[in-house]
Amino acid sequence: MFIKVRRDTIIILTLAFLLIVSGRVMSYMAFAESPATDQGIPISGVMIKGNNLVPTDSIRANIYASGLRPGSYINGSTLITDKRELPLNEAISNAQQFATLTTIPGTRLTPIVAADVKVDSTTGSVTVTVVEDWSQVVVNTTSSTTSSYTTG
């Protein structure tokens, strides 16, 4: 009790199988031919979560200033940038501090009160979770000067 299959169906299935296998072989060869990095695991990107009004580009620029940017490498517990080498935990604490100093563009308002930076040492991805607290932001910072006028 064999299943009857036409010849053109077998040819189509064989071609599909060959295309799938050749695609897999090409992707494996491309991965094998990619240049190896002796420096460590490269920082692949920065993902920012938790912000409402502060633009992600402003936060990302400050995180990049701490050294956690594309082009930097993680080698064990050391972050290697193009300018210096520093411990990874120091770079994380710098990134947390820099994220809290992020202002809304065009103002001096710093609504980010806390930041949590996590670095995955196996993939090189950086995740930044920020907390904005508008109850502690001083919006009107103009100082009023008192002058004494004499009328005469």
pLDDT in tens, 41-100: 888 889 999 888 889 999 999 999 999 988 899 988 899 988 889 999 999 999 999 999
How far is it, in rounded angstroms, from Cα 152 to Cα 3?
Answer: 116
- High-pLDDT (> 90) share of the chain, %: 41
Q: Which domains does the chain have, with CATH numbers?
A: 41-135 (3.10.20)
Residue-level pLDDT at 37: 56
Q: Where are the beta strands (DSSP E) in 3-152?
A: 41-42, 45-49, 73-75, 78-80, 85-87, 112-119, 125-132
Report phi then psi at 85, rounded to 5. Answer: -120, 135
Q: Check pLDDT > 90 for residue 129.
A: yes
SS3 1: coil
CA distance 81 to 69: 8
Is the predicted pLDDT of residue 150 greater than 70, yes or no? no
- The pLDDT > 70 percentage for the chain reads 86
Q: Does residue 99 contact residue 50 with C-beta atoms inside 8 Å?
A: no
- When the pLDDT of each residue in the chain is averaged and rounded to a whole number, the result is 85
Rounded to whole angstroms, how far apart are CA atoms 125 and 81? 15
CA distance 27 to 14: 20
